[in-house]
Amino acid sequence: MTQTTDSYGAKDITVLEGLEAVRKRPGMYIGSTGLTGLHHLVYEVVDNAVDEAMAGHASHIDVALLPDGACQVTDDGRGIPVDPHPDPKLKKMTAAEVVLTILHAGGKFGGGGYKVSGGLHGVGVSVVNALSVRVEVEIDRDGNHHYMDFLDGGKTHTKLEVRGRAPRGRTGTTVRFWPDPAIFEDTNFRAQTLLERFQMMAFLNKGLEIRFRDLRPGGNPEPVTFRYAGGIVDFVRHLNTTKEALFKKVGYYEQKEEGQEVEIAFQWNSGYNSDGIHSFANGIATIEGGMHEEGFKKALTNVVNRYARAKGLLKEKEDNLQGEDIREGLTAIISVRLAEPQFEGQTKGKLGNVSMRSLVERATNELLGDWFEENPTDARKVVGKATQASRARMAARKAREATRRKSALEGAGMPDKLKDCATRNPDEGELFIVEGDSAGGSATQARDPRTQAILPIRGKILNVERARIDQMLKNAEIQALISAIGAGVGEEFDVTKARYHKIILMCDADVDGSHIRTLLLTFFFRQMRELVEREYVYIAQPPLFSTVVGKEKLYLKDDAAKSRFLDEHPNHKREFQRLKGLGEMDYDELGDTTMDRERRTLLRVSVEQAAIADEVFSTLMGDDVEARKHFIQTNAKDVRFLDI
């Protein structure tokens, strides 16, 4: 990474607002107080180190989970500025103290510290401070080793002080923090979640080395190191590991122009999914796409059709290939960098800069066009696959039209087995997808008919990871799901037409139930992804145990809840009944424990990193048995609430 001479001092630290409300409303700043929010603290600290790497000032980041529950992040960047901040309102606080104690203070809001930053979407290390019981900061800068620490949610304990000389030539920052158990439901970091995020960061920052160690009791103390000399080319190769590539070499091109740049890596595989494009802006996953994706998709369609026509691969009277046909089996990474990204959309995961659409479109028209000319054998394979996809799409359209005609003749078009709710307000409506007719009957009796709809499904639906859409639409259970939700499917899916904004998967807590749930999640992720991205999909949590306390029946969610109950009631003598099947509950039990809004527990399904989710679904639901076995063995120690 090339060093630059950009200045970075106290004058570059701009203050936007204070820190008072963070502990009162942590969810506003980190999303939740569950594991997602806990891991967000790590990302905030690591993102600062990555920003140093993007600016050309860091090449190594070390992350360690310490035995006492702390997380430690060390980088070899410039170090947080330690000189007094020039703003007189700050009463001569050092810039480092400002960064740690004032929300949204940093070198990314108009100062000269960073030209490009991923931290613009974040809330700063000050939030980490606010939500921790202790934070320690060590800064090597200007030849000195500085130290400061904070206690009890950001209260200064030791003001910034020099504690000797820095190791010769050493600059950088170390942040150690202990999350507050009074804020978080669980302060036990999940190593695999962090590793997935760090690997993605390393892919997006060519040559950056991120090393992770889990020094906790029972953890793996051996360092796991991510460093990719090929950057996003290696990312595409990694995502296609479990898929059969159409050609060996991953394609790549890049373009820089007027303070912004784009790099794109791509490779087609023999799969049937057309949602393998993953985009990033300044290292931030833009899961809702945006201008950079629009520019790429438009130019990709133009390039492939232009090439196919020029080479006689499409006859004169044949229609152009559609974008979805061309994207079938495509894995592509679009990574853009720009000084002032505009994020918008439901999850702030959509890039709004129009200039970036123009840059990506021009680069793709020119440079991808060159790739097709220079790789004629591979280009013909791409056109051939797109042609097959086009035929399958037309067959699927006929199947959909036949389904629509049939629905029109039969009346309302809703599946016979759907027990719909009375409300037509999707914000109120809940669709329970229930495993089996027996449980469906109990759920129908237990529901609130005004807002809760029930759709029983029989057995295991088709694994859509291994099927084209024309095959998928022949499956009766999938047809029922599409009709009930009412928003179409695949490229035609329109989330604004969804009839319910809560779609709840209610399956048995056994192996078959888990398999059915995974098949359903695969279907939603591949064919109705925006339902998942908008967090409309939930998993019901029926209890695993019941027992009697006095004359009252008590339900316990899982083994952990049972253990807590026994700790609190050591003299409890009654037996525990294991409730493995929804069909074993009568309707009032099912209603009280799993469906009643006041008493139930739901797990919300979210996609923080679509590329990681894509890889997991491909591995678990694809054809590569060895890859699936390796994934299960690697992640087995992190599985929670397993019931088999």
Catalytic positions:
435, 508, 510, 512
Starting at the edge strand found earlier in the chain, the sheet holding 545-549 runs 552-556, 545-549, 577-578
**Residue (of 515, 498, 490, 517) closest to 506 by Cα position:** 517
Comparing CA positions, the residue from 136, 121, 129, 229 lying closest to residue 175 is 136
Cα 619 to Cα 130: distance, rounded to the nearest angstrom: 39
Cα–Cα distance measured from residue 432 to residue 600, given in angstroms and rounded to the nearest whole number: 13
Where are the strands (E) in 462-611, listed by range? 502-506, 537-540, 545-549, 552-556, 577-578, 602-604
CA 23 to chain centre: 25
Contact 146, 160 (CB under 8 A): yes
CA-based nearest residue to 625, from 240, 269, 242, 331: 242
CB atoms within 10 A of CB 30: 25
Tell me how far CA of residue 62 lies from CA of 80, 96, 152, 212, in angstroms: 17, 20, 25, 6
Beta bridge mates, 503: 431, 537
Cβ atoms of 194 and 38 within 8 Å: the answer is: no
Alpha carbons within 13 angstroms on the beta-carbon side of residue 381 total 13
DSSP bridge partners of 174: 74, 138
Q: Which two tokens stand for residue 222?
A: 């051996």
Lateral strand order in the sheet of 60-65: 155-165, 144-151, 132-141, 172-179, 71-75, 60-65, 209-214, 224-226
Q: Which of 281, 307, 309 is nearest to 294 (CA)?
A: 281
Q: Give the residue from 255, 250, 256, 258 showing the smallest Cα distance to 228.
A: 250
Given a contact cutoff of 8 angstroms between Cβ atoms, the answer to whether 510 and 579 are in contact is no
